[in-house]
């Protein structure tokens, strides 16, 4: 009987370990977790409890503490970390933190009064490590399994805020910076049709084989720690972060030194109370011993440091019931299902709507009207449905049938991605401005802060003016009948005067903001800047209206870094729509669109036009282009007589471009010459 019980326990343990490894692959390798972080943490805790309760388990199996991350894939070069990238042990309540401090004091034979503890938010992103030799970024690795990581240097280099060269004094010969890479919640709004969550988007972008694709994603990061440093010049964690901040690394501003359990609890509650207002996801606070000498004395267990712990936040969840499922149409025609739920308080906010993401998500979770559901709010405007309690489902319940038509009545469809050869998860209406629901959302985008930035003309006002037929198309904004507005409730002389001033001011707009504003699918702010640089003026841009000119232009656009086949097809589809073309032409008439301005007219390439081909050894082509622009040059995407220089990298340059340049007597700069110019 005793042996049978042992076998039952061992089988239970084995199943949980197998499940954990499966979730590790989903989280660390696929960037697509199948369960909530809180549920994952609970699974780990159950395994540890089994190990502690039944020591005989470890006679047969290795401890869970030997499992870190997931094995690296064959997609990228596999490189061993200079120092292992370990996981953190978790704390879930005050007692766990008391135990953490007690163990440290016992290990070091210190009193708690002597401890300085450094606290910083735990970013829910993708871990990476940056290696600098003599101040130059030479390697960039993913976490991988903690021992070996993937070489994702070229993708990391596309994050402009990461220093490629450290400038300053006393820079160690070898400096390894650990960081967490993420996508801001606001930036994720333009990507949410293609990714499940910000972490999934960040991970997928960093694991692109083509760094041009990564460059299109607005990745950000926070540096939080270090690996190898030679010579070691720091004595405290706080000193380390202060110094690397001076070296232009991004560090989190919400850090603080605490001294005892009361300080720890107060900081935990304070950050928890504001986390929904932050532009990045956090799931707890990391507490570290501030003194690096003490960190060294404490050392590590097999998979986590003894001197640090992650104090997790409780998930902001609530149980409610779905009253109805409504369909919303976005500015790109995306059809998004939203659950109308019985009002419930989640994280201090009363919630009546929850996003269902897309048709596939509804089918996967089998979500139905009338279901009792668990919803979670993590700072998003609309919470998400986590799970369905099928035990409370009515027997007469029927599966939800996702509508195949848009609210405007047009047929919808899912696109097939040419890069992945997979069907898009999102169903769309492709009528553009011909769909009144899409048209209204495009108007909301046009007046937004990132576009025309018209104060006083927000989403609610657009809704009101739309219903009153005051604004139906973008050009209507600049032809408003203010006499009609005067008759509306809540509109006095001052508010009307302020609105008129804001609209008048917005009539002058830069070319890149205009391109971003008109709402071409797949054309974000960075793409718009690239296109603005290519066209130079609105006169050149309007050549897209003519089909013959458009075909010639689109061929050249493919050569631009940051613009791929997806963007080119989207531009073609947009301008092929007669209504889209008419509406944008009418808008242009109302505007003063400034020509593209070179960032800096002074420099080694002042007023010169350059084009790049081939790869470079010491920098990405994107970085080379940025250097050219920062030195007064203008980067073009095609060979023409206007070109001054063709810069040719050593790795796989396009022979056709080199031959064309020779025929046109354009000066060719080889990679070694390029390096000499930069260093001269």
Please state whether 31 falls in left (phi above 0), alpha (psi between -120 and 50) or beta.
Answer: left
Based on the number of CB atoms within 10 Å of its own CB, is 159 exposed (0-12), middle (13-18) or buried (19 or more)? buried
Give dist(CA 500, CA 94) in Å, integer. 55
Decide: 273 and 34 in contact? Cβ < 8 Å: no
Neighbour tally for 76: CB within 10 Å: 20
For tokens 């293609």, the residue is 194
Strand partners, 350: 345
Give dist(CA 278, CA 271) in Å, integer. 10
3-state secondary structure of 580: helix
For tokens 């369960």, the residue is 35
Which residues lie below 8 Å from residue 246, measured CB to CB, with a gap of 6+? 168
For tokens 């994050």, the residue is 159
Pairing between strand 508-510 and 592-594? parallel
Based on the number of CB atoms within 10 Å of its own CB, is 401 exposed (0-12), middle (13-18) or buried (19 or more)? exposed
- What percent of the residues of the chain are helix, what percent strand, and what percent coil, each to the nearest 5? 40, 25, 35
Q: Which helix (H) or strand (E) holds 375?
A: strand 372-376
Neighbour tally for 408: CB within 10 Å: 16
* Strand ranges inside 476-549, DSSP E: 508-510
Helix and strand numbers (H, E) in the chain are 25, 24
Which alpha helices (H) appear in 178-333, and where do they start and end? 185-188, 198-206, 211-215, 237-246, 261-274, 292-298
Structure tokens at 372: 């009792």
Decide: 590 and 546 in contact? Cβ < 8 Å: no
Q: Calculate ∠ Cα 253-172-214, nearest 5°.
A: 60
Give dist(CA 346, CA 23) in Å, integer. 27
Q: Calculate ∠ Cα 248-253-258, nearest 5°.
A: 125
Give dist(CA 600, CA 605) in Å, integer. 10
* Segment 467-471 long-range contacts (CB within 8 Å, at least 24 positions apart): 471/443
Structure tokens at 583: 């509406």
* Strand ranges inside 96-250, DSSP E: 117-123, 126-133, 136-142, 148-150, 174-183, 219-230
Decide: 343 and 352 in contact? Cβ < 8 Å: yes
Structure tokens at 265: 């609890």
* Strand ranges inside 378-505, DSSP E: 384-388, 412-416, 423-429
For tokens 């120092």, the residue is 83
Q: Nearest-CA neighbor of 521 among 566, 563, 475? A: 566
Question: What's the sign of the alpha-carbon dihedral 345, 351, 352, 355?
Answer: negative
Give dist(CA 439, CA 330) in Å, integer. 9
> Annotated catalytic sites, by residue?
122
């Amino acid at each position: 009987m005793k042996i049978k019980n042992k076998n039952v326990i061992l089988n239970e343990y084995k199943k949980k370990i197998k499940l954990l490894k499966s979730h590790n692959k989903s989280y660390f390798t696929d960037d697509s977790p199948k369960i909530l972080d809180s549920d994952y943490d609970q699974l780990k805790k159950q395994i540890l409890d089994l190990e502690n309760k039944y020591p005989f388990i470890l006679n047969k199996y290795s401890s869970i503490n030997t499992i870190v991350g997931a094995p690296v894939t064959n997609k990228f070069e596999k490189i061993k970390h200079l120092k292992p990238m370990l996981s953190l042990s978790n704390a879930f309540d005050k007692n766990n933190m008391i135990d953490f401090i007690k163990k440290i004091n016992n290990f070091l034979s210190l009193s708690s009064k002597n401890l300085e503890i450094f606290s910083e938010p735990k970013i829910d992103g993708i871990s990476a490590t940056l290696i600098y030799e003599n101040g130059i970024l030479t390697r960039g690795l993913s976490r991988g399994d903690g021992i070996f990581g993937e070489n994702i240097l070229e993708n990391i280099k596309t994050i402009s805020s990461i220093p490629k060269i450290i400038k300053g004094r006393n820079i160690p010969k070898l400096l390894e910076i650990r960081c967490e890479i993420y996508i801001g919640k606001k930036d994720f709004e333009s990507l949410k049709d293609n990714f499940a969550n910000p972490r999934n988007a960040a991970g997928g972008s960093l694991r692109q084989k083509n760094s041009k694709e990564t460059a299109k994603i607005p990745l950000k990061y926070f540096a939080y720690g270090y690996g190898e440093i030679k010579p070691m010049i720091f004595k405290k964690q706080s000193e380390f972060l202060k110094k690397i901040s001076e070296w232009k690394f991004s560090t989190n501003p919400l850090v603080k030194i605490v001294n005892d359990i009361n300080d720890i609890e107060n900081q935990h509650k304070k950050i928890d109370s504001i986390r929904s207002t932050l532009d990045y996801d956090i799931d707890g606070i990391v507490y570290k011993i501030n003194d690096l000498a003490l960190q060294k004395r404490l050392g590590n267990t097999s998979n986590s440091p003894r001197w640090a712990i992650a104090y997790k936040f409780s998930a902001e969840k609530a149980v409610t019931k779905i009253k109805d499922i409504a369909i919303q149409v976005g500015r790109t025609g995306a059809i998004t299902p939203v659950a109308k739920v019985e009002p419930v308080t989640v994280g201090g906010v009363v919630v009546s709507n929850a996003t269902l993401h897309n048709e596939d998500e509804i089918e996967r979770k089998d979500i139905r009207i009338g279901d009792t559901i668990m919803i979670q709010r993590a700072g998003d405007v609309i919470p998400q449905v986590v799970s369905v309690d099928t035990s409370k489902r009515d027997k007469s319940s029927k599966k939800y049938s996702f509508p195949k038509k848009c609210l405007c009545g047009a047929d919808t469809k899912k696109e097939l991605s040419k890069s992945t050869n997979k069907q898009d998860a999102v169903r769309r209406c492709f009528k553009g401005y011909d769909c009144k629901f899409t048209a209204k959302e495009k108007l909301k985008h046009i007046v937004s802060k990132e576009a025309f930035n018209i104060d006083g003309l927000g989403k609610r006002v657009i809704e009101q003016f739309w219903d009153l037929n005051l604004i139906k198309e973008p050009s209507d904004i600049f032809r408003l009948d203010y006499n009609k507005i005067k008759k509306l409730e809540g509109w006095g002389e001052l508010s009307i005067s302020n609105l008129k001033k804001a609209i008048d001011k917005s009539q002058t707009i830069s070319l890149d903001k205009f391109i971003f504003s008109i709402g071409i699918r797949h054309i974000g702010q960075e793409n718009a800047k690239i296109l603005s640089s290519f066209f130079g003026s609105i006169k050149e841009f309007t050549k897209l209206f003519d089909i013959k000119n458009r075909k010639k232009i689109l061929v050249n656009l493919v050569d631009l870094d940051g613009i791929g086949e997806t963007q080119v097809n989207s531009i073609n589809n947009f301008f092929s729509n007669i209504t889209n073309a008419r509406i944008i032409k009418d808008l242009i008439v109302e505007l003063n669109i400034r020509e593209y301005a070179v960032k800096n007219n002074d420099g080694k390439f002042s007023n010169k036009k350059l084009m790049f081909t081939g790869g470079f050894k010491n920098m990405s082509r994107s970085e080379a282009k940025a250097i050219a622009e920062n030195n007064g040059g203008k980067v073009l995407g095609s060979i023409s007589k206007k070109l001054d220089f063709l810069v040719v990298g050593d790795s796989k340059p396009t022979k056709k471009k080199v031959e064309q340049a020779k025929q046109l007597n354009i000066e060719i700069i080889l990679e070694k010459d390029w390096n000499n110019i930069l260093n001269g």
